[in-house]
Structure 1
Amino acid sequence: MTKLKKVRSDFEELFNQSRDEFLEYFNELIQIPSVKGNKTYQAPFGVGPKRALEYLIQLSKKLGFKTGKVSNSVGWAEYGPETKEYFGVLGHLDVVDVTNDWTYPPFDLTFKDGFFYGRGVLDNKGPFLASLFALYLIKKQGIDLKKRIRVMFGTDEESGSKDIPFYLESEKPPYGGFTPDCKFPIVYGERGLIDLTITTTVTDDSLEQIDSLGGEFDKSFIPEYGFISISGKKTEFHGKKAPSNAPDMAENVLPMMIRQGTTLSGQTGELFKWIDSKIGNQVDGKNLGLDFTDKESGKLQLSFYSMEKNLDKLSINISMRYPVTISEDKVLSQLKTQLLNESLIKINRRFPSVVKDKNLPYMQDFSKIYEQDTGLDGTPVTTTGATYARAMPNIVAFGPSFPGQKGIAHKGDEWLKYSDWQMMMQIYYDCFLSELC
Structure 2
Amino acid sequence: MDFLNHIEKAQPEIISTLQELIAIPSVKAEPAGADAPFGREIARALEYVLAWGERQGFTAKNLSGYAGHLEYGTGEKTVGVLVHLDVVPAGEGWRYSPFSGTVADGKIYGRGAIDDKGPAVAVMYALKALKESGVKLGKKIRIIFGCDEESGWRCMEHYFKHERKPDYGFTPDAYFPLINSEKGQMALKFESEVASDGTGVILKTFTGGTRRNVVPEEAEAVLAFPDQEGLEKGKAALLAQGIDGIEVLALPEQNHLKVRAQGVPAHGSTPELGDNAVTKLAQALAPLEGEGSAWAAVRFIRERIGRQTDGRGLGINCQDEVSGALTINLGVVRTEAGKIRMEVDIRSPQSADHETLKEKIADHLRPYGLKIAEYSTMPPHYLPVDHHLVQVLLQVYREETGDWSKPVATGGRTYAVALGNGVAFGPGFPGQPETAHQKDEYIAVADLMKCTRIYAKALYALAKEE
Normalised by the size of structure 2, how large is the TM-score? 0.86
Aligned to 2:218, which of 225, 235, 241? Answer: 225
SS of aligned partner of 1:26 = helix
Kept in 2, the 8 Å contact 1:190–1:355? The answer is yes
In structure 2, the CA distance between the partners of 1:361 and 1:393, relative to structure 1 (3 Å rule), is same
Residue type of the alignment partner of 2:330: F
Instruction: Give the equivalent residue in structure 1 for 2:449.
Output: 422
Q: How does 1:147-166 map to 2 (within 5 A)?
A: 147-166=139-158
Kept in 1, the 8 Å contact 2:30–2:38? The answer is yes
Does 203-212 or 366-375 show the bigger shift?
Answer: 203-212
Aligned to 1:385, which of 412, 418, 438? Answer: 412
Instruction: Give the equivalent residue in structure 2 for 1:266.
Output: 291
Aligned to 1:73, which of 66, 72, 76? Answer: 66
In structure 2, the CA distance between the partners of 1:29 and 1:275, relative to structure 1 (3 Å rule), is closer
Aligned to 1:112, which of 101, 104, 111? Answer: 104
1:310 CA displacement: 4.1
Aligned to 2:341, which of 291, 315, 322? Answer: 315
1:312 CA displacement: 5.8
Instruction: Give the equivalent residue in structure 2 for 1:56.
Output: 49
Provide the C-alpha distance between the structure 2 equivalents of 1:203 and 1:48, rounded to a whole number of angstroms.
39
Aligned to 2:274, which of 223, 226, 250? Answer: 250
Residue type of the alignment partner of 1:240: V
1:300 CA displacement: 0.6
Provide the C-alpha distance between the structure 2 equivalents of 1:301 and 1:219, rounded to a whole number of angstroms.
13
Matched residues, number = 428
1:307 CA displacement: 2.0
SS of aligned partner of 1:151 = strand
CA distances 1:198-239 after superposition (whole Å, capped 9, x unpaired): 224467812881122223432231112221121112222222
Provide the C-alpha distance between the structure 1 equivalents of 2:62 and 2:441, rounded to a whole number of angstroms.
29
SS of aligned partner of 2:374 = strand
1:29 CA displacement: 1.4
In structure 2, the CA distance between the partners of 1:20 and 1:272, relative to structure 1 (3 Å rule), is closer
Kept in 1, the 8 Å contact 2:324–2:409? The answer is no
Kept in 2, the 8 Å contact 1:88–1:152? The answer is yes
Aligned to 2:370, which of 323, 343, 350? Answer: 343
CA distances 1:218-269 after superposition (whole Å, capped 9, x unpaired): 2231112221121112222222222212211222221232124333222455
Residue type of the alignment partner of 1:353: P
1:311 CA displacement: 6.3
Instruction: Give the equivalent residue in structure 2 for 1:234.
Output: 258
CA distances 1:111-159 after superposition (whole Å, capped 9, x unpaired): 1111110111111111011111111111111111011111111211112
Provide the C-alpha distance between the structure 1 equivalents of 2:280 and 2:138, rounded to a whole number of angstroms.
58
1:404 CA displacement: 2.5
Instruction: Give the equivalent residue in structure 2 for 1:370.
Output: 397
Instruction: Give the equivalent residue in structure 2 for 1:97.
Output: 89
- 5+ residue gaps in structure 1? 1-6
Provide the C-alpha distance between the structure 1 equivalents of 2:343 and 2:140, rounded to a whole number of angstroms.
44
Provide the C-alpha distance between the structure 1 equivalents of 2:78 and 2:162, rounded to a whole number of angstroms.
15
Normalised by the size of structure 1, how large is the TM-score? 0.92
In structure 2, the CA distance between the partners of 1:331 and 1:77, relative to structure 1 (3 Å rule), is same
Q: Does 1:197 align with 2:189?
A: yes
SS of aligned partner of 1:257 = helix
Residue type of the alignment partner of 2:310: D
Provide the C-alpha distance between the structure 2 equivalents of 1:73 and 1:307, rounded to a whole number of angstroms.
28
Q: How does 1:397-412 map to 2 (within 5 A)?
A: 397-412=424-439
Residue type of the alignment partner of 1:44: P
Residue type of the alignment partner of 1:249: L
Does 289-298 or 348-357 show the bigger shift?
Answer: 348-357
1:308 CA displacement: 2.6
1:162 CA displacement: 0.7
CA distances 1:300-359 after superposition (whole Å, capped 9, x unpaired): 111122223346643333211111111111211222332343321123442121223442
Kept in 2, the 8 Å contact 1:367–1:378? The answer is no
In structure 2, the CA distance between the partners of 1:395 and 1:19, relative to structure 1 (3 Å rule), is same
SS of aligned partner of 1:429 = helix
Kept in 2, the 8 Å contact 1:178–1:396? The answer is yes
Q: Does 1:124 align with 2:116?
A: yes
1:378 CA displacement: 4.3
In structure 2, the CA distance between the partners of 1:261 and 1:310, relative to structure 1 (3 Å rule), is farther
